[in-house]
């Protein structure tokens, strides 16, 4: 194992590594291209071009396969790995998510049953699509939904991550990602109001959806584990900035057994598994630990997540990951401010190990220079034993 791999594994196992590890979400074309000195992909610019959009709309209306962007998604995953290596990160969140299809130049639909708006940033890079609405309007629509493309996902995921791990597995600790979480995969295809109705009045229907996605997710976990990946990210945004989107008791009732089954599947295959859940998840931290997750990200500071408080609540049970602000600190802060933020985060969560320093999210306007300062500050302040 490499020093980077040992460093991250020690943190995930709540041991003190040689220093606090660094981690990033390689989820933006803009950031990855900036790190590597590359330009936006020509297709992304065409999508945003009003003159080209009509031709693209005609083309997309005639392409029914979800595999159109598979090769581009593989390229994006390797782009992220190359950028992470260039930055000197110990670990990277790398994504292969072959579920999207362009409906036209302005919208995407996915295999799970949601419609999203296409996003192209100011630099001409394709961004993360923005959810618009669900396409599954009733139990009948769910039962009629074509699930064959979803059932082909594990083989695609296994092939893509096999090539990635072969090339980069010795160079960094890879967290693989390939699917939305169970909550997002049930409420978003329905729409939130329809989801709430189903939770109260159509529980059998909702539980059938959750059961299907649980089974599929466990197979996806095994497909990633088979490639040799050491860890994976399970994402499910369960909270607003004000707190959980559902009563925690209802979250446990609907998803608790499924969450534990997914975690147990990962562990049985020798993989670590962390949960990414945006918003203020303070009230859910102990539940995440009870489900067995090895770590939690992003601990979003602009949602009121306090790193020292999180350390006190679950620091002896889960690795804490993230908490470096991406609204100011990693966008336009001074070098002194970046160093101060890193030093404070390490002081709040680094004692005894169990902390990985990382941005709390990603977006196109993050400054590569400030990401480099973050890494430099981790090297300066993060060596164990930590100084008071």
Whether 287 has a pLDDT exceeding 60, the answer reads yes
**Dihedral sign for Cα atoms in the order 345, 299, 121, 174:** positive
CB atoms closer than 10 angstroms to residue 222: 17
Mean pLDDT of the 296-325 span: 98
| 171 or 49, higher pLDDT | 171
On whether residue 41 sits in a domain, the answer given is yes
pLDDT grade for 122, boundaries at 50, 70 and 90 = confident
Q: What is the DSSP letter of 68?
A: G
Q: Which residues contact 379 (CB under 8 A, 6 or more apart)?
A: 19
* pLDDT of the residue at 34: 96
Whether 26 has a pLDDT exceeding 90, the answer reads yes
292: tokens are 């067995």
* pLDDT of the residue at 64: 58
Residues pairing with 319 in the sheet? 295
Instruction: For strands 355-359 and 243-244, give the pairing.
Output: unpaired
Mean pLDDT of the 240-259 span: 98
Mean pLDDT of the chain: 94
On whether residue 388 sits in a domain, the answer given is no
CA distance linking residue 310 with residue 312, whole number of Å: 5
On whether residue 386 sits in a domain, the answer given is no
- Look at residue 59 and give its three-state secondary structure: helix
327-375 pLDDT per residue, tens: 999 999 999 999 999 999 999 999 999 999 999 999 999 999 999 999 9
Q: Which residues contact 275 (CB under 8 A, 6 or more apart)?
A: 233, 234, 235, 236, 288, 291, 293, 295, 296, 297
**Dihedral sign for Cα atoms in the order 38, 83, 298, 110:** positive
User: Which domain covers residue 234, as residue numbers?
Assistant: 3-381
Percent of the chain topping pLDDT 90: 85
CB 206 within 8 A of CB 198: yes
Residues pairing with 272 in the sheet? 231
| 263 or 64, higher pLDDT | 263
Mean pLDDT of the 158-167 span: 97
CB 177 within 8 A of CB 235: yes
Q: In the chain, how many domains are there? A: 1
Mean pLDDT of the 242-252 span: 97
* pLDDT of the residue at 67: 53
Check: pTM over 0.85? Answer yes or no: yes
173-193 pLDDT per residue, tens: 999 999 999 999 999 999 999
On whether residue 254 sits in a domain, the answer given is yes
Alpha helix ranges (H) inside the chain: 3-12, 29-36, 42-48, 50-62, 70-87, 139-144, 148-151, 153-168, 182-190, 192-201, 203-225, 248-268, 285-291, 307-314, 335-349, 368-381
* pLDDT of the residue at 1: 67
Instruction: Report phi then psi at 97, rounded to 5.
Output: -135, 70
CB 38 within 8 A of CB 78: no
On whether residue 387 sits in a domain, the answer given is no
On whether residue 63 sits in a domain, the answer given is yes
Whether 50 has a pLDDT exceeding 80, the answer reads no
pLDDT grade for 223, boundaries at 50, 70 and 90 = very high
Q: Which residues contact 204 (CB under 8 A, 6 or more apart)?
A: none
Mean pLDDT of the 313-331 span: 98
The CATH code of the domain that includes 157 is 3.20.20.210
Whether 58 has a pLDDT exceeding 90, the answer reads no
* pLDDT of the residue at 293: 98
First-to-last C-alpha distance (Å) of the chain:
31
Residues pairing with 364 in the sheet? none
86-104 pLDDT per residue, tens: 999 999 999 999 998 878 8
Q: Which residues contact 186 (CB under 8 A, 6 or more apart)?
A: 195, 206, 209, 210, 213
pLDDT grade for 125, boundaries at 50, 70 and 90 = confident
Whether 388 has a pLDDT exceeding 90, the answer reads no
Mean pLDDT of the 123-134 span: 90
**What is the widest separation between alpha-carbon atoms in the chain?**
63
DSSP string, 244-280: ESS-HHHHHHHHHHHHHHHHHHHHHTT-EEEEE--S-
108-117 pLDDT per residue, tens: 889 999 999 9
* pLDDT of the residue at 152: 95
**Omega before 298 cis (within 30°)?**
yes
105: tokens are 């130049």
CA distance linking residue 136 with residue 209, whole number of Å: 11
On whether residue 139 sits in a domain, the answer given is yes
CA distance linking residue 307 with residue 133, whole number of Å: 34
On whether residue 141 sits in a domain, the answer given is yes
Strand order in the sheet with 295-297: 23-25, 91-95, 173-177, 231-235, 272-276, 295-297, 319-324, 355-359
274: tokens are 């962390």
Whether 61 has a pLDDT exceeding 80, the answer reads no
CA distance linking residue 72 with residue 175, whole number of Å: 20
């Amino acid at each position: 194992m490499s020093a980077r791999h040992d460093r991250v594994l020690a943190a995930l196992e709540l041991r003190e590594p040689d220093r606090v590890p660094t981690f990033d979400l390689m989820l933006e074309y803009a950031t990855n291209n900036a790190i590597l000195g590359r330009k936006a992909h020509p297709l992304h610019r065409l999508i945003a071009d009003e003159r080209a959009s009509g031709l693209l709309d005609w083309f997309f209306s005639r392409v029914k396969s979800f595999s159109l962007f598979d090769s581009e998604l593989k390229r994006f995953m390797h782009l992220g790995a190359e950028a992470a290596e260039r930055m000197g990160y110990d670990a990277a969140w790398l994504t292969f998510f072959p579920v999207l299809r362009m409906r036209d130049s302005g919208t995407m639909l996915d295999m799970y049953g949601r419609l999203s708006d296409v996003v192209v940033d100011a630099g001409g890079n394709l961004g993360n699509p923005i959810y618009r609405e669900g396409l599954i309007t009733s139990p009948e629509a769910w039962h009629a939904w074509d699930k064959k493309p979803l059932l082909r996902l594990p083989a695609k995921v296994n092939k893509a991550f096999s090539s990635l791990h072969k090339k980069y597995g010795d160079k960094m600790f890879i967290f693989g990602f390939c699917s939305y979480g169970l909550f997002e995969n049930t409420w978003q295809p329905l729409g939130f109001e329809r989801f709430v109705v189903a939770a109260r009045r159509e529980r059998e229907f909702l539980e059938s959806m959750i059961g299907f996605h649980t089974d599929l997710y466990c197979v996806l976990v095994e497909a990633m584990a088979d490639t040799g990946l050491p860890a994976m990210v399970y994402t499910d945004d369960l909270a607003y900035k004000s707190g959980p989107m559902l009563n925690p008791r209802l979250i446990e009732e609907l998803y608790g057994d499924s969450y534990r089954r997914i975690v147990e599947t990962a562990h049985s295959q020798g993989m670590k598994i962390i949960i990414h859940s945006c918003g203020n998840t303070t009230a859910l931290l102990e539940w995440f630990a009870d489900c067995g997750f090895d770590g939690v990200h992003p601990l979003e500071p602009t949602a009121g997540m306090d790193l020292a408080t999180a350390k006190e609540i679950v620091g002896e049970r889960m690795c804490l990951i993230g908490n470096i602000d991406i609204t100011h600190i990693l966008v336009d802060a001074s070098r002194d401010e970046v160093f101060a933020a890193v030093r404070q985060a390490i002081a709040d969560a680094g004692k005894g190990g169990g902390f990985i320093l990382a941005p709390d999210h990603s977006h196109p306007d993050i400054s590569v220079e400030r990401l480099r300062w973050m890494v430099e500050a981790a090297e300066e302040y993060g060596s164990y034993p930590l100084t008071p």
